[in-house]
Amino acid sequence: MIPYGRHHIDESDIQAVADLLRDGFLTQGPMVGAFENAVAAYTGSKYAVAVSSATSGLHLAAAVAGAGPARALVTSPITFVASANAALYNGAAPLFVDIDPETVNLDPAKLEKLLAANSNVTAVMPVHYGGLACDMAAIRDIANRYGVSVIEDAAHALGGHYADGGVIGNGAFSDMTVFSFHPVKAIAAGEGGMIITNSEESYRRLLRLRSHGINKLDDPFIHTEDAFADGEANPWYYEMVELGYNYRITDIQSALGLSQFGKLDQFISRRRQLAKRYDAAFSDFANLRPAQPGESRDRSGLHIYVVRIDFKKIGMGRGELMRALKARNIGSQVHYIPVTSQPYYRNLGFRTADYPNAADFYDQALSIPLYVDLSDDEQTMVIEALRELVG
Ligand SMILES: *Cc1c(COP(=O)(O)O)cnc(C)c1O
């Protein structure tokens, strides 16, 4: 079976985890910091906070950006539910802006309209769909004009670049950036995520929220009479200063993540090769086209390869096509059912028809196999199966 996506684990990854199990800490040990330092250095950002998943990272980033009751957070309807849930976890309202059909990323012009009409927005969370960076210069400019924070959901985009060539996560356009290390993403840590920021204040708050709201680093104690005796800090003493979570990542996950991270550029370059070969192969298909522009491949993180198919024209439903591919041992998937179509969000009053570009995209989207170990021969099978079925 050729899946739509799959992690790549080699002997050095196995060795890294085995070494840790033999000699290391299991939960909070030196690997967490080493992993954080490596990703911070790669992005050129000052601070990194590794967490249990990108979902928990988005939750905490939204909290730090001020999401809470009577505030709202804006994201794209074409994303995984975790992006919008970050608002709800904090008691804030999710809002959506429609996508630009050319990039599948949220449309800055529509963002501006929404911000002009809603004064309660505290943060915008652009999602770099498929690893292709949103128009961050425009989004940052609009957010600045409306006094709104920017949190990049970069779950798809580790290793990608902005239009100006900067590394995604460098903080040039946002307050915080969140990466995912779920196995189908660029690198695998089992589960895991990381929040990147240049703000020391945000960094300190993220550290506290990650671990129960207990003070960290050199945060001053509130009850000094309890904290100190005879001018010395009491060795057992700690203070919980706000309601936090246990969103820590383990040293085991960090050892795997760090080992994988060393191969990131190699992973991306193989994904890029495969994506460009698909682009070239599909150029003469009448009813199928790549969902994102071929010119963007050199800067995309290329988490998924998505095509748009005119199912009405081919006279075949998407389910039928997916089953026909599966009969040929080819996996496929849809990224994503619009968040606004989920029952929970419909109950909140959202309707996908209010986001017509997202609705159109959803009708046509199909993710086809893209992963590091997809061989040229297997990719040829995928291309030929699609040629036969869709033409
Ligand atoms: C995968 C994903 C997440 C959540 O990542 P986890 O690490 O699995 O929690 C959030 N947003 C997007 C866009 C994703 O694809």
Name the residue with tokens 């085995």. 18
Domain chopping of the chain, boundaries = 11-261, 264-390
Upstream peptide bond of 336 is cis (omega within 30 degrees of 0): yes
Ligand 1 binding pocket includes 111 (Cβ within 6 Å): no
The predicted structure's pLDDT at residue 231? 87
Q: Is 283 exposed, middle or buried (0-12, 13-18, 19+ CB in 10 A)?
A: exposed
Query: Torsion over CA of 311, 316, 320 and 324, rounded to 10 degrees?
Result: -100
CA–CA gap between residue 152 and residue 196 (Å, rounded): 10
Token pair in block for residue 119 = 């004064």
The predicted structure's pLDDT at residue 29? 87
Taking alpha carbons only, the member of 381, 384, 346, 386 closest to residue 366 is: 386
Ligand 1 binding pocket includes 80 (Cβ within 6 Å): yes
Are domains 11-261 and 264-390 of this chain identical in fold? no
Ligand 1 binding pocket includes 254 (Cβ within 6 Å): no
Token pair in block for residue 83 = 């992006």
Ligand 1 binding pocket includes 45 (Cβ within 6 Å): no
Query: Torsion over CA of 357, 359, 360 and 362, rounded to 10 degrees?
Result: 120
The predicted structure's pLDDT at residue 219? 85
Centroid of ligand 1 to alpha carbon of 278 (angstroms): 25
Atom 6 (ligand 1): residue with closest C-alpha? 54
Atom 1 (ligand 1): residue with closest C-alpha? 155
Taking alpha carbons only, the member of 93, 167, 183 closest to residue 128 is: 167
The SS3 of residue 123 is strand
The predicted structure's pLDDT at residue 42? 98
Atom of ligand 1 nearest to the CA of 180: 7
Ligand 1 binding pocket includes 180 (Cβ within 6 Å): yes
DSSP one-letter code for 219: P
The SS3 of residue 6 is coil
Q: Indicate the helix (H) or strand (E) that contains 152.
A: strand 149-153
Residue ranges of the chain whose pLDDT lies below 50:
none
The predicted structure's pLDDT at residue 227? 93
The predicted structure's pLDDT at residue 56? 98
pTM of the complete model beyond 0.85: yes
Centroid of ligand 1 to alpha carbon of 184 (angstroms): 10
Name the CATH topology of 11-261: Aspartate Aminotransferase; domain 2 (3.40.640)
DSSP one-letter code for 84: H
The predicted structure's pLDDT at residue 26? 83
Centroid of ligand 1 to alpha carbon of 201 (angstroms): 25
**35-72 core/surface letters (b: 16 or more CB in 10 A; e: else):** bbebbbebbebebbbbbbbbbbbbbbbbbbbebeeebb
Atom of ligand 1 nearest to the CA of 57: 9
Please identify, in words, the CATH class of the domain defined by 264-390.
alpha beta
Provide the residue type at 151 as one letter: I
pLDDT digits (tens, 9 = 90+) for 238-278: 999 999 999 999 999 999 999 999 999 999 999 999 999 99
User: What are the C-alpha distances in Å from 333 to residues 210, 290, 369?
Assistant: 32, 15, 9
Phi, psi of 331 (to 5 degrees): -85, 155
